[in-house]
């Protein structure tokens, strides 16, 4: 695990006004390759996983409307980095999927939390195959669907696979389709 990219800094921007980022606070651990989500309803953001000198299972949270340091929320079921996260407005659920535990050791775990109440994550189901480095995930907060795309799997460099889950009901991921090209570390967005 490389160290130079690790940070504990949280910045924020006001989305409807172009400007530079401003300091928000710090995470509970200095780490890299973590994932974050928010459900857009209860003013809470959560960050999970990442790597320090080990693969972290820590989950932190912040109150989005007021600057300050992150507070411990609970733990993932398994420490990992390069995981993806989605959430929905429907039932206050955050979901963390896939990730790495070093080199080409990829994970198929999907965990979930209730964003408005602190606790450890619970098993949600599994991806169709162990996948790391995907971090491209999206949900629109209206139709209760989380979508994960791209990444890396054992024996493959990059993949073009898209999978989906129904956020409010635990289950395994289902094939959705394919990206136009195989890729890792992609980003995603959606509208309501």
The model's pLDDT over 81-106, given as tens digits with 9 standing for 90+, comes to 999 999 987 789 999 999 999 878 99
Within a domain: residue 189?
no
Alpha helix positions (H), 117-182? none
Q: What is the pTM of this model?
A: 0.93
Which residue, chain included where needed, has tokens 């693969």? 55
Based on C-alpha coordinates, what's the Rg of the chain? 16
189: left (phi over 0), alpha (psi -120 to 50) or beta: beta
Within a domain: residue 184?
no
Domain hosting residue 46, numbered range: 7-178
DSSP structure string for 68-87: ---EEEEE-SS--BS-EEEE
Which CATH number covers residue 41? Answer: 2.120.10.80
Within a domain: residue 191?
no
- With 0-12 / 13-18 / 19 or more C-beta atoms within 10 angstroms meaning exposed / middle / buried, residue 180 is exposed
User: What are the residue ranges in the chain where pLDDT is below 70?
Assistant: 1-4
Within a domain: residue 186?
no
Query: Cα angle vertex 94, ends 190, 158, to 5°?
Result: 60
Residue 190 confidence (pLDDT): 81
Within a domain: residue 106?
yes
Residue 1 confidence (pLDDT): 42
Which residue, chain included where needed, has tokens 């775990």? 109
The beta strands (E) that lie in 64-172 are given as: 71-75, 84-87, 93-97, 109-114, 122-126, 136-139, 145-149, 161-166
Number of domains in the chain: 1
Within a domain: residue 188?
no
Within a domain: residue 190?
no
Residue 51 confidence (pLDDT): 93
Residue 4 confidence (pLDDT): 66
Within a domain: residue 185?
no
Residue 10 confidence (pLDDT): 96
């Amino acid at each position: 695990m490389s160290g130079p990219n690790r940070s504990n800094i949280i910045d924020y921007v006001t989305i409807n006004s172009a400007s530079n980022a401003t300091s928000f606070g710090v995470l509970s651990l200095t780490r890299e390759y973590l994932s974050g989500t928010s459900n857009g309803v209860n003013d809470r953001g959560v960050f999970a996983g990442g790597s320090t000198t080990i693969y972290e299972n820590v989950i932190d949270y912040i109150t989005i409307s007021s600057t300050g340091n992150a507070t411990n929320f609970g733990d993932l079921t398994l420490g990992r980095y390069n995981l993806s996260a989605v959430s929905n407005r429907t039932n206050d659920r955050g979901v963390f999927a896939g990730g790495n535990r070093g080199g080409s050791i990829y994970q198929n775990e999907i965990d979930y939390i209730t964003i408005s109440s602190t606790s450890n994550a619970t098993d949600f189901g599994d991806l169709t195959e162990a996948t790391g480095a995907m971090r491209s995930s999206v949900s629109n907060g209206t139709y209760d669907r989380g979508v994960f795309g791209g990444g890396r799997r054992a024996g493959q460099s990059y993949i073009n696979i898209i999978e989906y889950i129904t956020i409010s009901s635990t289950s395994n991921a289902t094939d959705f389709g394919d990206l136009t090209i195989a890729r890792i570390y992609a980003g995603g967005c959606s509208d309501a």
